[in-house]
């Protein structure tokens, strides 16, 4: 049964210490995501949405509980396997884009491919990687911006670059943390349209947002409240 | 590959990188220039001191000297390790100008008398290079033409001539004709005044035959006399002749310690053979010393300066480490978001650390290259720069009228330069190590949290 889900969490607990107080953010989160699904996680600010996303992407560890990726327990991954998981299996899109100002747009996009290979490996694959990065940028309407620096782009363009970077290594899951939170409504819709397109092409997406209207663009919505998941739609 | 690309871009795009490159360049420049100049001065001084006494000296500090020196010279000359030996008389004399010359220079001082045999002495020391007027054979250096009845003497150049602002002695083309009265106190083998009760002083008039420029303090305190004349004045002639020292030069390829040990061995044997003979007690005061030990009063000063210099530069290295540490601490603090992104695309802690160490290496390599090229160019023109400063601002690093320095030494020792560059790069890596490790250990969720941005 578990193998039919690409990502699955069981009994995830996570708490933080704030001074002397212990704040429980996640209190037994059970969530299962199927391949090709576009899932939105909604919740109020501070409800633990981003924490859950970071745990799903192995950027953070749960206090207890398990995260399975294609049936394999992520918490049992070695450091090397975790790095490979972050590099190949998941792609992150952040609210604030997080692009490197030192690199141009094309370089920012193929950075994950470069990071996942040795020097010799990179020399062998760089033409393919650059071609893929160009293709992604063309697909998102940024073919004229390849040599530009991130600070020369608008917010919407930067977020599209961030999506292209996240898709560079063809990850099985795209994790998006408030991807439209820093954009105006029109640009935000543009990004959601992109998400819709890539989801239609088969990409699994997990997006967290505090905005119900944005979440409506997903196939399924779950709410995170008081540290637990409840189904809202789908 | 991304490590090199990102490290290179961090270097190019961050202004703070330029400050750290500048700091490293400045440190390398200063260390390189000062080390070259001071090492040059020390090496030059040591070379001159070495040339002054040869490789090894068998000597006594007693003014009485020691007997059987000629026999020991024969022993030494049979050894393949010894290329040349020269006996030397060393004592003190009152030297006073007497009428009869053509120079207005007036001398009336107590000087160190050095009795030498020019031919052998020049084989052991730099004597032939010290003389300023002798043009013919070195054996004739005590000959002069203006009073053939008088024996010649050679005086340290510092007594007769002044130095110009470039440190060169202002010498007339023709050697000045000066006659001096040299008065010594001859001693018996037992150390008593040889002529007690009558005239206690042996005096003789000499005519200046040349001047000697050794480049060390000898230029202001020594007068060179023919060996036999000095021996006579000091009361060291007679049935058992005496000398104060034997200077020797080792054959090429013989190490200083090995050569001195050999001479010590020969001397011990020689002393054993002579122990029952007359005046053998004088041999007990004789020491076999390398030129460094024999001249330790002078060499120790230079070596102390060198040691101090190394300490100062080690402190500079520590300062460089600290500068790089501070710069990298700031860089890592500013780059925490980037570190989070790198971790989110699967880059390991070790590779994050390596990325910043490569960045530090680039700063070190670029900074030290700039410092080295700048230092090299500065050293290449250091004497022209000093001349220009002196011409326009009357500034001179060392007053050549006071110090025995000609040009500022600027001969580049590439081994020293490579050592400085490697040290600078190492200092950068050491300084960047802790911040880089900190970068590697940063938790991505901490750096990527919205509240942290």
| Inter-chain CB proximity A114 and B450 less than 8 Å | no
Q: Best mutation site among B5, B338, B341 for testing chain A: the one with the most A CBs within 10 Å?
A: B341
| Inter-chain CB proximity B345 and A96 less than 8 Å | no
What letters, b where the CB count within 10 A reaches 16 and e where it falls short, cover A14-24? bbeeeeeeeee
A53 → chain B, closest CA residue: B445
A95 → closest Cβ in B343, B348, B450? B450
Show Cβ contacts of residue B105 under 8 Å, excluding neighbours closer than 6 positions: B97, B159, B160, B176, B178
Largest CA distance in chain A: 54
Q: Best mutation site among A88, A109, A114 for testing chain B: the one with the most B CBs within 10 Å?
A: A114
Task: Give the β-pairing of B108-116 and B222-226.
Answer: parallel
Confidence check: pLDDT of B452 > 80 = no
Spell out which residues of chain B touch residue A95, defining contact as CB-CB under 8 Å. Answer: 450
Whole-angstrom Cα distance, residue B11 to residue B4? 10
Cα–Cα separations (whole angstroms), residue B398 to A77, B180, B346, B350: 69, 33, 61, 52
A10: pLDDT confidence band, cut at 50, 70 and 90? Answer: very high
Q: B81-98, pLDDT tens digit by residue? A: 999 999 999 999 999 988
B8 → chain A, closest CA residue: A102
Mean pLDDT over B410-425 rounds to 89
Whole-angstrom Cα distance, residue B244 to residue B225? 14
What letters, b where the CB count within 10 A reaches 16 and e where it falls short, cover B292-308? bebbeebbeebeeebee
Whole-angstrom Cα distance, residue B308 to residue B312? 6
Q: What angle do CA A26, A65, A205 make, to 5 degrees?
A: 70
pLDDT at A2: 43
A149 → chain B, closest CA residue: B13
Work out the mean pLDDT of chain A and round it to a whole number: 88
Pick the more confident residue, B42 or B91: B91
Say yes or no: B15 contacts chain A, CB-CB below 8 A.
no
Among A100-104, A189-193, B36-40, top mean pLDDT goes to A100-104
A16 → chain B, closest CA residue: B446
Backbone angles phi, psi at A124, to 5 degrees: -75, -30
Whole-angstrom Cα distance, residue A89 to residue A68? 12
- In what helix (H) or strand (E) does residue B192 lie, and over which residues does it extend? none
| Inter-chain CB proximity B348 and A54 less than 8 Å | no
Q: How close A124 comes to chain B (CA, Å)?
A: 12
| Inter-chain CB proximity A100 and B341 less than 8 Å | yes
| Inter-chain CB proximity A59 and B448 less than 8 Å | yes
Spell out which residues of chain A touch residue B341, defining contact as CB-CB under 8 Å. Answer: 98, 100
Q: How close B446 comes to chain A (CA, Å)?
A: 9
pLDDT at B76: 94
Confidence check: pLDDT of A105 > 80 = yes
Show Cβ contacts of residue A217 under 8 Å, excluding neighbours closer than 6 positions: A38, A40, A192, A195, A196
Alpha helices in B335-413 (DSSP H): 336-344, 349-380, 382-393
Q: A143-157, pLDDT tens digit by residue? A: 888 899 999 998 889
B133, B136, B142, B148: CA torsion to nearest 10? -100
Note whether B320 and B27 are within 8 A (CB). Answer: yes
B346 → closest Cβ in A86, A95, A100? A86
Distance of CA A47 to the CA centre of its chain: 18
| Inter-chain CB proximity A92 and B13 less than 8 Å | no
Whole-angstrom Cα distance, residue B82 to residue B253? 11
Tokens of B9: 């871009």
| Inter-chain CB proximity A100 and B347 less than 8 Å | no
Q: Best mutation site among B346, B348, B349, B447 for testing chain A: the one with the most A CBs within 10 Å?
A: B346
Sign of CA dihedral A137, A140, A143, A147: negative
Mean pLDDT over B26-46 rounds to 87
Q: How close A114 comes to chain B (CA, Å)?
A: 6
The residue with tokens 């954009």 is A183
Burial class (CB in 10 A: 0-12, 13-18, 19+), A70: middle
| Inter-chain CB proximity B343 and A50 less than 8 Å | no
Note whether B234 and B113 are within 8 A (CB). Answer: yes
In this structure, how many other beta carbons lie within 10 angstroms of the beta carbon of residue A169?
Answer: 21
A51 → chain B, closest CA residue: B445
B181: pLDDT confidence band, cut at 50, 70 and 90? Answer: very high
B403: pLDDT confidence band, cut at 50, 70 and 90? Answer: low
Tokens of B113: 């008398």
Work out the mean pLDDT of chain B and round it to a whole number: 87
A96 → closest Cβ in B10, B443, B453? B453
Whole-angstrom Cα distance, residue A69 to residue A87? 14
B341 → closest Cβ in A57, A79, A98? A98
B142: pLDDT confidence band, cut at 50, 70 and 90? Answer: very high
Q: How close A23 comes to chain B (CA, Å)?
A: 16
Percent share of chain A, pLDDT over 70: 97
Whole-angstrom Cα distance, residue A2 to residue A193? 31
Whole-angstrom Cα distance, residue B182 to residue B218? 17
Q: B96-125, pLDDT tens digit by residue? A: 988 877 777 788 889 999 999 999 999 999
Whole-angstrom Cα distance, residue B189 to residue B192? 8
| Inter-chain CB proximity B338 and A107 less than 8 Å | no
B13 → closest Cβ in A79, A85, A102? A102
Q: How close A216 comes to chain B (CA, Å)?
A: 24
Q: Best mutation site among A15, A56, A83 for testing chain B: the one with the most B CBs within 10 Å?
A: A83
Spell out which residues of chain A touch residue B443, defining contact as CB-CB under 8 Å. Answer: 60
Mean pLDDT over B324-340 rounds to 82
pLDDT at B94: 92
First-to-last alpha carbon distance for chain A, in angstroms, is 19
pLDDT at B372: 95
A79 → closest Cβ in B341, B344, B348? B348
Domain boundaries, chain B: 2-46+299-452, 61-285
Whole-angstrom Cα distance, residue A88 to residue A166? 10
Q: A48-79, pLDDT tens digit by residue? A: 888 999 999 998 889 999 999 998 999 899 98
Q: What angle do CA B136, B138, B143 make, to 5 degrees?
A: 75
Whether this prediction's pTM lies above 0.80 is answered by no
Tokens of B402: 């006071």
A59 → closest Cβ in B6, B344, B453? B344
B338 → closest Cβ in A85, A100, A119? A100
Q: How many CB pairs under 8 A join A and B?
A: 79
| B 134-173 residues with CB < 8 A to A | none
Residue by residue, what is the 3-state secondary structure of A109-153?
HHHHHHHCCCHHHHHHHHHHHHHHHHHHHHHCCCHHHCCCCHHHC
Mean pLDDT over A89-94 rounds to 91
């Amino acid at each position: 049964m578990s193998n039919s889900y690409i990502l699955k969490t069981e009994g995830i607990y996570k708490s933080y210490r704030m001074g002397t107080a212990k704040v429980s953010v996640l209190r037994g989160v059970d969530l299962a995501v199927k391949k090709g699904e576009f899932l939105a996680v909604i919740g109020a600010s501070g409800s633990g949405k981003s924490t859950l996303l970071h745990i799903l992407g192995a950027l953070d560890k749960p206090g207890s509980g398990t995260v399975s990726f294609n049936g394999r327990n992520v918490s049992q991954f070695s450091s090397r396997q975790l790095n490979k998981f972050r590099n190949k299996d998941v792609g992150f899109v952040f609210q604030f884009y997080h692009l490197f100002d030192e690199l141009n747009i094309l370089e920012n996009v193929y950075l994950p491919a470069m990071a996942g290979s040795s020097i010799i490996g990179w020399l062998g694959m760089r033409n393919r990687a650059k071609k893929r990065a160009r293709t992604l940028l063309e697909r998102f309407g940024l073919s004229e911006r390849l040599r530009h620096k991130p600070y020369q782009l608008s917010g919407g363009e930067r977020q599209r670059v961030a999506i292209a970077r996240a898709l560079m290594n063809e990850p099985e899951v795209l994790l998006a943390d408030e991807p439209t939170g820093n954009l105006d409504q029109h640009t935000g819709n543009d990004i959601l349209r992109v998400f819709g397109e890539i989801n239609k092409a088969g990409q699994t997406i997990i997006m967290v947002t505090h905005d119900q209207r944005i979440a409506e663009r997903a196939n399924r919505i779950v709410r995170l409240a008081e540290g637990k998941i409840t189904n809202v739609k789908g | 590959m991304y490590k090199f690309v990102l490290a290179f871009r961090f270097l190019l795009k961050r202004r703070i990188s330029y400050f750290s490159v500048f700091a490293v360049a400045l440190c390398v420049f200063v260390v390189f220039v000062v080390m070259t100049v001071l090492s040059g001065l020390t090496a030059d001084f040591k070379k001159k001191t070495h040339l002054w006494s040869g490789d090894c000296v068998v000597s006594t500090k007693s003014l009485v000297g020691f007997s059987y020196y000629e026999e020991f010279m024969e022993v030494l000359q049979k050894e393949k390790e010894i290329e040349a030996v020269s006996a030397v008389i060393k004592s003190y004399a009152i030297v006073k100008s007497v009428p009869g010359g053509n120079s207005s220079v007036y001398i009336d001082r107590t000087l160190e008398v050095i009795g030498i045999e020019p031919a052998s002495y020049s084989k052991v020391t730099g004597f032939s290079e010290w003389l300023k007027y002798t043009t013919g054979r070195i054996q004739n250096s005590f000959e002069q033409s203006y009073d053939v009845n008088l024996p010649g003497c050679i005086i340290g150049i510092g007594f007769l001539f002044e130095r110009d602002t470039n440190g060169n002695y202002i010498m007339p083309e023709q050697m000045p004709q000066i006659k001096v009265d040299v008065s010594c106190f001859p001693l018996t083998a037992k150390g008593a005044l040889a002529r007690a009760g009558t005239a206690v002083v042996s005096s003789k008039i000499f005519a200046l035959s040349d001047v000697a420029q050794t480049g060390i303090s000898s230029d202001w305190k020594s007068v060179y006399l023919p060996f036999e004349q000095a021996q006579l004045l000091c009361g060291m002639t007679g049935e058992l002749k005496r000398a104060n020292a034997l200077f020797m030069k080792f054959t090429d390829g013989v190490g200083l310690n090995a050569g001195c040990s050999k001479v010590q061995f020969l001397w011990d044997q020689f002393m054993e053979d002579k122990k029952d003979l007359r005046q053998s007690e004088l041999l007990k005061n004789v020491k076999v010393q390398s030129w460094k030990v024999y001249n330790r009063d002078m060499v120790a000063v230079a070596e102390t300066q060198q040691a101090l210099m190394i300490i100062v530069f080690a402190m500079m290295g520590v300062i460089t480490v600290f500068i790089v540490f501070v710069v990298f601490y700031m860089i890592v603090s500013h780059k925490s978001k980037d570190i989070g992104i790198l971790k989110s695309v699967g880059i390991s802690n070790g590779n994050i650390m390596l990325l910043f160490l490569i960045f530090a290496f680039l700063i070190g390599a670029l900074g030290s290259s700039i410092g080295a090229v700048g230092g090299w160019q500065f050293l290449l023109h250091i004497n022209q720069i000093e001349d220009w400063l002196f011409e326009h601002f009357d500034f001179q690093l060392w007053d050549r009228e006071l110090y025995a320095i000609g040009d500022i030494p600027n001969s580049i020792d590439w081994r020293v330069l490579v050592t400085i560059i490697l040290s600078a790069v190492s200092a950068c890596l050491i300084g960047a190590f802790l911040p880089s490790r900190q970068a590697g250990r940063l938790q991505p969720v901490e750096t990527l949290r919205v509240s942290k941005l």
